[in-house]
């Protein structure tokens, strides 16, 4: 029974708007990249099958809108996440400073059973820009932050050139799998479920 459940791994990508969340997902899933900027609305996911230790898993990768005005329904989709990816742009200090907010917001809203050990992965994206000359967040600084938050794995990527994207998602999948194994199991308190739902619903015919 747990096999079917664990075959699906849910990953949430968070970060400021414009850091490259959508691009990372598209690069990983479709091997495509576009220079054009298109805002994301709400939450959107793509799936990708991954082989791991001779088994097949489906990664369900949720891309999110970084702008609040395109996140009107809230974040109920955080629930049941197996791994959370925090992305920032190595050329924009503010996007790095905001990582902490994104992490905390996730822990509050998703309320995982063991927040201390919930798997995060941090990605510093857009390393290609201007040959690295416009970079403002050093790798050292980023790694120090990751270390201080319980040794979060850290990757530097370029969604544009595809650098390190595959590697990052390998670790994301691996850590999601580790988390997925500890999923809670629901047991019903009564066996009779006959028509309970019928009673609560309204008289509408649909």
Partner 1 sequence: MIADGVEDEEKWLSAGIAGLQQNAFYMHRALDSNNLKDALKYSAQMLSELRTSRLSPHKYYELYMRAFDELRKLEIFFKEETSRGCSIVELYELVQHAGNILPRLYLLCTVGSVYIKSKEAPAKDVLKDLVEMCRGIQHPLRGLFLRSYLSQVSRDKLPDIGSEYEGDADTVMDAVEFVIQNFTEMNKLWVRMQQQGPAREKEKRGKERSELRDLVGKNLHVLSQIEGVDLEMYKEIVLPRVLEQVVNCKDDLAQYYLMDCIIQVFPDEYHLQTLETLLNACPQLQASVDVKTVLARLMERLSNYAASGAEVLPEFFQVEAFAKLNNAIGKVIEAQENMPIAGVVTLYASLLTFTLQVHPDRLDYVDQILGACVKKLSGREKLDDSKATKQIVALLSAPLEKYKDIDTALKLSNYPRIMEYLSDGTHKEMANVIVQNIMKNKTCISTAEKVDALFELIKGLIRDLDGDSQDELDEDFIEEQNYVARLIQMLHSDDPEEMLKIIQTVRKHILTGGRKRLPYTVPPLIFSSLKLVRRLEGQDESVSGDEASTTPKKIFQLVTQTIEALTSIPVPELALGLYLQCAEAANDCDLEPVAYEFFTQAYILYEEEITDSKTQVTSIHLIIGTLQRMHVFGVENRDALTHKATGYSAKLLKKPDQCRAVYACSHLFWLDDHDSIRDGERVLLCLKRALRIANAVQQMSNATRGSSGSALLFIEILNKYLYFYEKGVSQVTVESIQDLIKLIRNEMQGETSPSDPAADAFLASTLRYIQFQKDKGGAVGDKYKLIIV
Ligand X SMILES: Nc1nc2c(ncn2[C@@H]2O[C@H](COP(=O)(O)OP(=O)(O)O)[C@@H](O)[C@H]2O)c(=O)[nH]1
| Residue 64 vs 125, nearer CB to partner 1 | 64
Parallel/antiparallel/unpaired status of strands 55-64 and 43-52: antiparallel
Provide, rounded to whole angstroms, the least separation between the CB of residue 162 and partner 1: 17
Residues 6+ apart with CB under 8 A from 98: 15, 16, 88
How many C-alpha atoms does 134 have within 13 Å on its Cβ side? 9
Is residue 160 near ligand X by the rule CB under 6 A?
A: yes
Q: Considering CB under 8 A, how many residues would be counted as binding partner 1? A: 46
Residue from 51, 74, 131, 140 binding partner 1 (CB under 8 A)? 74
For residue 37, report the phi and psi dihedrals to the nearest 5 degrees. -95, 120
152-164: burial string, b at 16+ Cβ within 10 Å, e else = bebbbbbbbebbb
Is residue 40 near Mg ion by the rule CB under 5 A?
A: yes
Pick the stretch among 34-42, 124-132, 151-159, 167-175 that binds partner 1 (CB under 8 A). 34-42
With beta carbons less than 8 A apart as the criterion, state whether 127 and 58 touch. Answer: no
| Residue 34 vs 101, nearer CB to ligand X | 34
- By CB under 5 A, name the binding residues for Mg ion: 21-22, 40
- By CB under 6 A, name the binding residues for ligand X: 15, 17-23, 34-37, 40, 66, 125-126, 128-129, 158-160
């Amino acid at each position: 029974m747990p096999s079917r459940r664990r075959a699906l791994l849910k990953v949430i990508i968070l970060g400021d708007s414009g850091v490259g969340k959508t691009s990372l997902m598209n690069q990983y899933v479709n091997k495509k990249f576009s220079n054009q900027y298109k805002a994301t609305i709400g939450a959107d996911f793509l799936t990708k099958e991954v082989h791991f230790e001779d088994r097949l898993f489906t990664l369900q990768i949720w891309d999110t809108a970084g702008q609040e005005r395109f996140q009107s329904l809230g974040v109920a989709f955080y629930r049941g996440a197996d791994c959370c990816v925090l992305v920032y742009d190595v050329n924009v200090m503010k996007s790095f400073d905001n990582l902490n907010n994104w992490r905390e917001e996730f822990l509050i809203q998703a309320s995982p059973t063991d927040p201390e050990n919930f798997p995060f992965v941090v990605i510093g994206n857009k390393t290609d820009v201007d040959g690295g000359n416009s970079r403002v967040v050093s790798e050292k600084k980023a790694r120090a932050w990751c270390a201080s938050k319980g040794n979060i794995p850290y990757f530097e990527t370029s969604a544009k050139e595809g650098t390190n994207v595959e590697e990052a998602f390998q670790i994301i999948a691996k850590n999601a799998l580790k988390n997925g194994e500890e999923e809670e199991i629901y047991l019903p308190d009564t066996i009779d479920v006959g028509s309970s739902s019928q009673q609560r619903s309204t008289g509408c015919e649909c």
